[in-house]
Amino acid sequence: MITVEEARALLFDLVAPLPAETTQLSEASGRILAKDVEATRDQPPFAASSMDGYAVKSTEVELHAMFKVVGEAAAGQRFDGTVGPGQAVRIFTGAPVPDGADFVVIQEDVDRRGDLITITDGPGAKANIRPAGVDFTIGARISAPRLLRPEDVALMAAMNIASVPVTRKPVVALISTGNELVMPGEMPGPDQIIASNTFGLKALLEQNGAHVRVLPIAQDTVTSLETAFDLAQGADLVVTIGGASVGEYDLVADVSEGVGLERSFYKIRMRPGKPLMAGRLGDAAMVGLPGNPVSAMVCGYLFLVPMVRRMLRIDQVLPPLQRARLIAPLAENGGREHYMRAIVNHDGIRACDNQDSALLSVLAQANALLVRQPHDPARTTGDEVTYLPIQ
């Protein structure tokens, strides 16, 4: 069996950064910029007033100076003439500063009567003009890769970049396996339960930038599994859930090899989630997750999300591990790396009482996975431990 770290490295060998596609600017937030983009213009494209006031020559600005107002410059509508000596142009925020003027006296500092203004308050040294290109100039670049935030979208809008090259979303096909499963909303038979893993994983992976296809539940037969693998074609990552253990009904390993899986590894020295297999299946990566719901979700955080982020070209494949102090002791850990469901708050961190990997009710209360190394000794209250946030 291999470690979590080794498994992740092997999984990364199964995926590659995806190519770019073009999206509309209005849909670009949260996507990954795939190629550098450049401003197609200067911003502002002209020297612009930053205040409402009067555009004049700076050499003429002094207390009690008088000017004749000869025109008006509004945002979107410049004054076409030139400001001469003793002249002023009424100007509004964002308007082009007219030729001949290099100073804007704010309107609060003047007294206007008809076409005449007088400076009534000391106008100070600030010209209240934004030079052309002060925000950015043609060719200013936003470098890829970059997770695009709302601020980047606003900046690209100002740069007049209407179409944005972004990394294509990884397509993940999810296959739940097992005769015991029915979909939510159906009426389960007495021996059946509701498929939950695909729904949790779909939400988790979509939240991390994937496009998820939930395939029909595969029964525990060769034919049903083969059909599922066939339906998964075109995905970048095929994920089976359940059927990857050693029971006689665990057909995933056999069938996936039958349809061409080149296996990378089988089993990881971790809890929960030991039975996990992976390999290359044609053009796709394939991962077989254990069927216990908590194991599947934890493997989603530790392996699937990093694979998705790798395909998206995001450097930070996992959120950084955090540290907190225990507010309850921990028994010695066994021989496998353990990701314990835990609750962290201002007071510290506490592992949930029941670590059974079937308990979704416990997972839904947890907001952290407390990470323990193999054979980590017993820990007491106050000891510092590491955890992966899952909220």
Tell me which residues in 192-231 interact with a second copy (CB under 8 A): 192-204, 206-207, 214, 220
Region of 21-29, 62-70, 228-236, 322-330 interacting with a second copy (CB under 8 A): 21-29
Does the protein bind a second copy through residue 255 (CB under 8 A)?
A: no
Work out which of 363, 368, 369, 370 binds a second copy, going by CB under 8 A: 363
* Binding status of residue 143 toward a second copy by CB under 8 A: no
Give 114 or 190: the residue with its C-beta nearer to a second copy: 190
* Nearer to a second copy among residue 179 and residue 322 (C-beta): 179
Given 6, 16, 45, 223, the residue binding a second copy (CB under 8 A): 45
Residue-by-residue DSSP string for 69-120: EEEEEBTTB---SB--TTEEEEE-TTPBPPBT--EEEEGGGEEEETTEEEE-
| Type of residue at 91 | I
Task: Map the footprint of a second copy across residues 96-125, applying CB under 8 A.
Answer: 96, 107
Q: Return the CA Rg of the chain.
A: 31
Rounded Cα–Cα distance for residues 38 and 136 (Å)? 10
Kindly write out the interface string for residues 288-317 of this chain, putting x where it contacts a second copy by CB under 8 A and - elsewhere. ---xxx---x--x-----------------
Is 171 near a second copy (CB under 8 A)?
A: no
Task: Report in angstroms how near the CB of residue 130 gets to a second copy at its nearest.
Answer: 6
Q: How far is the CB of 16 from a second copy (least distance, A)?
A: 26
Residue 352 makes contact with a second copy by CB under 8 A: no
* Tokens, residue 282: 């044609």
Which of 350, 246, 328, 261 has its CA nearest to residue 291? 246
3-state helix vs strand vs coil in the chain, percent to 5: 20, 35, 45
Scanning 6-14, 118-126, 144-152, 277-285 for contacts with a second copy by CB under 8 A, the matching segment is 144-152
Beta bridge partner(s), residue 277 = 266, 288
In the stretch 123-142, what mask flags binding to a second copy with x, by CB under 8 A?
Answer: -------x---xxx---x-x
Question: Under the criterion CB under 8 A, does residue 155 sit at the interface with a second copy?
Answer: yes
Told to check if 59 binds a second copy by CB under 8 A, we report no
> What is the spatial distance between Cα 119 and Cα 88, in angstroms, rounded to a whole number?
11
| Residue 210 Cβ vs a second copy, minimum distance, rounded to whole Å | 12
Q: Encoding tokens for residue 123?
A: 């106008």
Q: Which amino acid is residue 49, in one-letter code?
A: S
By the rule CB under 8 A, 345 interacts with a second copy: no
Is residue 71 at the binding interface for a second copy, with CB under 8 A as the rule? no
Element (H, E) at 203: helix 197-207
Is residue 248 close enough to count as binding a second copy by CB under 8 A?
yes
Q: Which region, left, alpha or beta, applies to residue 35 given φ > 0 means left and ψ of -120 to 50 means alpha?
A: beta
Token pair belonging to 281: 């299946």
Give the residue, chosen from 92, 144, 267, 327, that forms a contact with a second copy under the rule CB under 8 A: 92
Spatial separation of the C-alpha atoms in residues 157 and 159, rounded to whole Å = 5
Stretch that binds a second copy, among 109-117, 240-248, 309-317, 378-386 (CB under 8 A): 240-248
The Cα 271–Cα 291 span in angstroms is 13
Amino acid at site 32: I
